[in-house]
Amino acid sequence: RSRTQHRTPGKLVRNGEDKKAVVCIEGNIASGKTTCLEYFSKTSNIEVLTEPVSKWRNVRGHNPLALMYQDPERWGITLQTYVQLTMLERHLSSIVAPVRMMERSIFSAKYIFVENLFRSGKMPEVDYAVLSEWFDWITANISIPVDLIVYLQTSPQTCHERLKQRCREEEKVIPLEYLESIHQLYEDWLIKRTSVPLPAPVLVSDCSLGFGLC
C-alpha cells in the first residue's frame, strides 16, 4: 500500500516524519467556525474539512436536521445517529496535507448535542442509551486522532444575533436558551473541564467581537 493509502488516522499519523496534525474547530452554533475555516482554506499545507451539514439537510431526499428542530423527541436520535456516522467518515478519511483543520468532531456531537437533547428532556433515555453504546464502541475500537481543539468562545447572545442574520430555514426556531445550554456544555467540557474527557489540548479564542484573524 502507498503512504497516502494507508494513512489510517492513529497509525501513520503518529509516525515520525510523516506525522500530520489534526485540529478540530469547536464552538456554539454560529460562533464563526466556517469563517475561521475559510480563512485557513486559502493557505497552503492545510486541508480544511467543513461540517457535513449539507448531508444532514439531505439524506436520500430527507432533511433530518429540519425534522430534529420540529420534533426533537421523535427525530433527535435520527439526526444524531447520522451526525455520528458522517463525523466518523470525516475523521477516518485520508489526510492529504500536513495539517488538517476540521469543523467540530465526533466528540462534540456526543458530549454537546446528544447530551443537550438528553438533559433538556428532549431525548428519551433509551435513545440516549443506544447512541451512547455506539459512541463508546466507536471510541474504544477506532483510533480517532485529534492533536488540538480550538475553541471559538462566543457569548450565546452574539451567536443568536448571527443566527438571525444568516437565516438558515431549519434554525428559525432556535431560541436564545438553546444556545445558552450549548454554551454551558462547551464551557464545562473545554474550560472548566468538569464533565467528560478531553481528546486533545485546548486553545481558546475569544470570538465575541468577530473572528480575530479577519
Q: Which is nearer to ligand DCP, 27 or 199 (CB)?
A: 27
Min dist CB 76 to ligand DCP, Å, is 8
Q: Which is nearer to ligand DCP, 58 or 94 (CB)?
A: 58
Min dist CB 83 to ligand DCP, Å, is 4
Q: Which residue is nearest to ligand DCP (CB)?
A: 34
Closest CA to 51 of 112, 140, 7: 112
Q: Which is nearer to ligand DCP, 13 or 68 (CB)?
A: 68
Cα 163 from Cα 172, distance rounded (Å) = 8
Which of the following is catalytic: 26, 103, 169, 187?
103
Min dist CB 147 to ligand DCP, Å, is 20
Q: At what angle do helices 176-186 and 156-166 cross, to 10 degrees?
A: 130
Q: Which is nearer to ligand DCP, 83 or 95 (CB)?
A: 83
Q: Is 103 a catalytic residue?
A: yes
Min dist CB 156 to ligand DCP, Å, is 12
Closest CA to 25 of 46, 49, 45: 49
Q: Is 84 helix (H, G, I), strand (E, B) or coil?
A: helix
Q: In the complex, which residues of this chain contact ligand DCP (CB under 6 A)? A: 27, 29-34, 51, 53, 65, 68, 79, 83, 104, 109, 113, 171
Q: Which is nearer to ligand DCP, 65 or 95 (CB)?
A: 65
Cα 99 from Cα 43, distance rounded (Å) = 11
Q: Is 160 helix (H, G, I), strand (E, B) or coil?
A: helix
Min dist CB 51 to ligand DCP, Å, is 5
Cα dihedral sign for 164, 88, 81, 109?
Answer: negative
Beta strand residue intervals within the chain, DSSP E: 21-27, 46-49, 99-103, 148-153, 202-206
Closest CA to 29 of 164, 143, 192, 204: 164
The residues annotated as belonging to the active site are: 103
